[in-house]
Amino acid sequence: MKNKIAIITGSRSDYGLLKPIISSLASNELFDFKLFVTGSHLSPEFGLTYKEIEKDGFKITNKIEMLISTDSDSGIAKSIGVGVISFVDIFSHHSIEKIIVLGDRYEIFSAVQAAAFLKLKIVHIHGGEITEGVIDDNIRHAITKFSHLHFVANDQYKKRVIQLGEDPKTVFNVGAPSLDNIKNTKLLSKKNLEKIFNIKFEDKIFISTFHPLINISKNESGINQLLNALSEFSDVTIIFTFSNADAGSKMIISKINDFVRKKENCFIFNSLGYKNYYSFLKLSDLVIGNSSSGIIEAPFLKTPTINIGDRQKGRLKASSIIDVTENKIEILNAIDKVMTKKFRNNLKKIKSYYGNGNATVKIVNKLVNFDPPIIKKFNDIS
């Protein structure tokens, strides 16, 4: 009998990580596979990124609308409620035994709550991590408690999931699946990207993503300090990507748009697509902002990261990452440091904390050969 399983993707960021798993399950005869798309994938403001999924050749089983058109805290909370109702209807309509979710997004939290009350088994990827600066931290650990099977990215994260009371027999360190995506993708050259985007790049390239913080009052000062620092680099091509669809994102995107309009060397994109994004990540002289890609993918590509603020606080970080506060002088000093010959020479020795790009094989093999019980027992640590 086939494994009746579904993957839910709610944003461009989790799709980039889930793509190799989607590809493997969709082509595997042992699985009756379904793909549900929701969240910012369906938002014109964020680039209607479900089209990228279709362009990659994947059949979308259902598109689930859930986003209320606001980026306020109350709007996000209401979107979660809409999502729960919508996913109950969708899951009830299809014959599904398991869902696979990744990470800590509120869109995914809706799907998980619906699945739990419909007694579906939940498979969680990237649990056990800590990001103290955002509510995603709470959501991630909550999803862990709902889940029956856990695929984590590091032994430290495995220990933390077990610490939350999960059965060690259901927790597996497989690494980050996004590294599989990078490893198996033929990345584009600078010349190719210039042609695609009709941009003549300077000798140096910076790429930046700045997401909202849990303390919304810090968002404006944080993005202002970043932009004030980057205004010093008129001879560098600076690529910005949109923030996630979180509370406070509209203000950040508006500030960046205003900045870009006045700068001939700066460009902003609501979504680059995973192949273009990873290509820019590899070609860039540095990544700057507060995105998890600066923590997980950039070190794998030997690209240095300047990580601003507390959004990624608690995650394991390679020596290619410099942490700074939301302060222009600190940011400028960090840029100076990563551009030195000594720092760049040390990039060759960077070790990834998140595996080596073979997570998908491990995940699929475990899905084929291991079926956790639906009834969970709390695992006390003696």
pLDDT tens digits along 267-289:
999 889 889 999 999 999 999 99
In a domain, 184, yes or no: no
Same domain, residue pair 160 and 203: no
In a domain, 375, yes or no: no
Pair 236, 205: CB distance under 8 Å:
yes
Strands 305-308 and 286-289, by their bridges, are parallel
* Domains: count for the chain: 2
Same domain, residue pair 243 and 335: yes
Same domain, residue pair 83 and 207: no
Angle at CA 67, nearest 5°, toward 66 and 68? 120
Instruction: Output the domain CATH number for residue 194.
Output: 3.40.50.2000
Q: How confident is the model at residue 13 (pLDDT cuts 50, 70, 90)?
A: confident
Same domain, residue pair 41 and 75: yes
Pair 10, 87: CB distance under 8 Å:
no
Average pLDDT of the chain is: 94
In a domain, 381, yes or no: no
CA pair distance 356, 333, nearest whole angstrom: 31
In a domain, 339, yes or no: yes
Same domain, residue pair 72 and 105: yes
Same domain, residue pair 216 and 161: no
In this predicted structure, the answer to whether residue 7 has a pLDDT above a threshold of 80 is yes
Q: pLDDT tens digit string along 47-71? A: 888 999 999 999 999 999 998 777 7
Same domain, residue pair 224 and 300: yes
Same domain, residue pair 247 and 317: yes
Q: Which domain holds residue 74?
A: 3-176+356-369
Same domain, residue pair 345 and 363: no
Same domain, residue pair 201 and 119: no
Same domain, residue pair 361 and 331: no
In this predicted structure, the answer to whether residue 338 has a pLDDT above a threshold of 90 is yes
Same domain, residue pair 345 and 361: no
* pLDDT for the residue numbered 264: 95
